[in-house]
Structure 1
Amino acid sequence: MTGAFDVPVDPDAPEAREWILRELAGPEYEAARPTLFDRISQAIWEWFTSLRFGGVDGPPVLPLIVVGALVLVALLLAFLIYGLPRVNRRSRADLDLFGVDDERDAATIRRAAADAAAREDWTLASVEGFRALARGLAERTLVTVSPGTTAHGFADRAAGAFPDAADELRWSADLFDAVRYLGRAGDRAGYERVSALDARLSAARPVLPEPTGAPA
């Protein structure tokens, strides 16, 4: 009589298949199964090692080392010559604002002008107010403020885009030169006039030049 724990030694085909599938479903087999990453990595490596260079099988180790070393040397030289790369590096021409390198945007300069006005430093407030006016129009690409551009040079260029404000622009340039270079003390009225002009032009639509050859 067959015992309760006897196992048939001659299973039929369906039963044998079921035993095999059950065995392969065990955790030890599942853990050993290669992942998708493993299969992709293996395929890439097999392709790379199948390459032939100069009649030699496999990757050219020495040429790869030489190329890698040359790349590293080039990067090192670039770092020594140019320094670390800066995101959105601005050119010298973009930074120059009436003879001073100024990285601030128009909004930041306006806040500086307002802070100076709050301290009743009207001279600084007037200077910063005019700088904010110039940087704001430059950011809108309406006026180019390049190295060497004077306050009056800027005013003349801006008057081309805003002819209705030509007189106020030239007056503001006069004020800037007076308080910045001639030692004149600024006052509340001057700062507020420049600030009002800045606000007005910030919201105004410029007069664009007529295209060349346009009908009259």
Structure 2
Amino acid sequence: MAPAAVVIAVLGGVALEGLDPDRDEARRWAERELSDPVYEASEPTPIDLIAQAIGDFIADLLTPRDGVPWSPLVAIAAVVIAVGLVVAAILIWGRPRLAHRTRESSALLFGEAEHRTAAQLRAAASQAAGAADWDEAIVLRFRALARGLEERGIVEAPPGTTAQGLARRGHHPFPEHAERLDTAARAFDDVRYLRRRGTAERHAQVASLDDELARTTPVRAPEAILS
């Protein structure tokens, strides 16, 4: 049991059993439990610090005032509130931060800094296509495709991911589009690295795939695919 839970369990048991320790005795009971060597290696977490403050509050609550003890119902209510606070702390500090991780991984896209959203990349690709700059239009539209999958939490593109690697990661959530994903990735590599001229037809293929994926529900619930 974690130190935070131990404090609540020890003091909660005291209240529920109807015992009436003074402040010092309640603290000694909690300290005795936490003196177990299993806790010595643990560094205090925000949850532990909150639990310690709650434990002090409950111990103070259980201490009689002017010779008149508190009602057991009040003590039980305090324990319930304390447990609720600990649960809230766990939810706040313990839940995964997928969005945060996604923002960090998105600082680079296919080896280059890229902070634009999928919508912004699509707009830039359309502008390049309007100027018949097919090389730029293909590169930007494939980047938009990748960023769109990231934003939806379907596929991640951490630093080091290649266009071909991203296409392979898209095979599982979009099996019916697997071949077209590979074709779009090759189009990106051809114009970006092999210096082959882009064409309106190849741009249309990438743009059409991006539009379809944006409207398609993946095979499984959105979840970042890392392998």
Q: Where on the TM-score scale, by shorter chain, does this alignment land: which range?
A: 0.5 to 0.7
**Aligned positions of 1:19-30 closer than 5 A:** none
Written as runs of structure 1 = structure 2, the 5 A alignment for 1:39-50 is: none
Indicate the RMSD between aligned Cα atoms, in angstroms: 1.7
What TM-score comes out, normalization by structure 1 length?
0.54
Quote the sequence identity (%).
Answer: 44
Aligned with 1:177 (options 189, 192, 201): 189
Q: What is the alpha-carbon distance in structure 1 between the residues aligned to residue 166 and residue 101 of structure 2?
A: 24
Selected match of 2:214 from 183, 189, 202: 202
Establish whether residue 149 from structure 1 lines up as the match of residue 161 from structure 2: yes
Equivalents in 2 of 1:128, 1:158: separation in Å? Answer: 18
Q: Deviations over 1:151-202 (max 9, x none)?
A: 0100000111100000000000011001000000101000011000000000
What code does the residue aligned with 2:145 have? L
Alignment correspondent of 1:135: 147
For residue 90 of structure 1, report the CA deviation from its aligned partner.
7.4
Q: Hey, what's the Cα distance between the residues in 1 that align with 2:137 and 2:102? A: 26
Pair 1:189-2:201 in alignment: yes
**2:60 is matched with which residue?**
none
Q: Residue type matched to 1:123 in 2?
A: D
In structure 1, how many angstroms separate the alpha carbons of the residues matched to 2:134 and 2:164?
21
Query: CA deviation digits over 1:4-50, x for unaligned, max 9?
Result: xxxxxxxxxxxxxxxxxxxxxxxxxxxxxxxxxxxxxxxxxxxxxxx
Which of residues 94, 98, 101 in structure 1 aligns to 2:110?
Answer: 98
How far off its partner does 1:147 sit? Answer: 0.1
TM-score (norm 2): 0.52
CA distance in 2, matches of 1:160, 1:89: 22
Which runs of structure 2 are paired with 1:27-176 in the superposition (5 Å)? 91-176=103-188
Unaligned runs of 5+ in 1: 1-87, 210-216
Q: How far apart are residue 110 of structure 1 and its match? A: 0.1
Amino acid at match of 1:183: R
Q: What one-letter code is carried by the residue in structure 2 that aligns with 1:121?
A: D
Quote the Cα distance in structure 2 between the aligned partners of 1:180 and 1:108.
Answer: 20
Shift in Å, 1:92: 3.9
Kept after mapping to 1: 8 A contact 2:102/2:150: no
Q: How far apart are 1:96 and its partner, in Å?
A: 1.1
Q: Which has the larger radius of gyration?
A: 1
Q: Which runs of 4+ in 1 moved over 3 A?
A: 88-92
Measure the CA separation in 2 of the matches of 1:173 and 1:130.
Answer: 7
Aligned length, in residue pairs:
122
